[in-house]
Amino acid sequence: MAKFPATKENNLIIRLFRKEENTLYEENSILEYPSSIPPSKLTNFKGFVFIEVDRRYTIPFDEAISKKDTVALKKAWEWPLEEFEFVYGLSKTDPHGKYTLGIVPWASMNLGASAVERFYELLGIEGDGSAERKRMMKGFRYIVQDEPSGAIGGVKFPEGMGWMWKKGLVVEIGLDSRSGGLWQLEEAVKAIQEVVKGSEHVGGVGAFVVSHFTYSCTHDNNNMAASL
C-alpha cells in the first residue's frame, strides 16, 4: 500500500515491489527519469503526468457526503488528498518540479457524482488563486481490479464517471480482466456508453481511458506496492 517516507523528503519515490530480492525493488527520484532517457531523444522530453498510486482510503457515510461534512470526508480520504498535495508541492518547490506536467489523482467515482464533487472540492481546484492547481489536474483514476462483479454496472459508478467527463477531465478505469474476470471490461464499456449516450453534440467533455486490462501471471498483490 502506498505511503510517504517518514522524512517526506522532496523526492518523488516509486517503490514497485516490497521484497528487496526482487529485481524491480528500487526507489526513484524525479531527476532519475529524464537521466535515463537516451541523449538523442532527450530533446523531445517535456515531462511526465503523475498517476495516483492506489493509496489507502475509507468509505465515508452517505450522510457525510450529502451534508458536506468536511472533517469526516478529509479523514476518510486523507491519504489520496495528501498524495495530491505532495506531488503538487513538488511541482512548485522541487528543483526538477518543472517536469511534473500534470496529476491524475484517485477519486471516489464508485460512490457517485456527489462524492466525486466533494473530493474535487477538497483538492482546492476551484476558487480564487486555484488556476494553477486546476491546470495541473488532468483527470481521475479508479482501480476496479479486485472488486466484486457489478461494481461498475450500478447507478453510482457511471454517475461519478459522467460528472468528471462533463468537467472536461480524463476518466481512467483500471481493470484486471485476467484475475477479476471479463465482466470488468464488459461493465466498463457499458458504463461509458451510458455516460456518452445523447451527448454527441456536447462540447468541452473529457476522455475515457480503460487501462491494465490484465496483469501478467507474475503479478502478486502481496508484493506490489507504490510509495511516495
For the stretch 19-76, pLDDT in tens is: 566 655 666 678 877 888 888 888 888 888 999 988 889 999 999 999 999 999 999 9
Q: How far is CA 150 from the centre of its chain?
A: 21
For the stretch 103-133, pLDDT in tens is: 999 999 999 999 999 999 999 998 888 999 9
Q: Answer for the pair 226, 50: CB distance below 8 angstroms, yes or no.
A: no
For the stretch 154-185, pLDDT in tens is: 899 999 999 999 999 999 999 988 888 889 99
For the stretch 75-84, pLDDT in tens is: 999 999 999 9
Rounded to whole angstroms, the Cα distance separating 208 from 171 reads: 5
pTM of the entire structure?
0.81
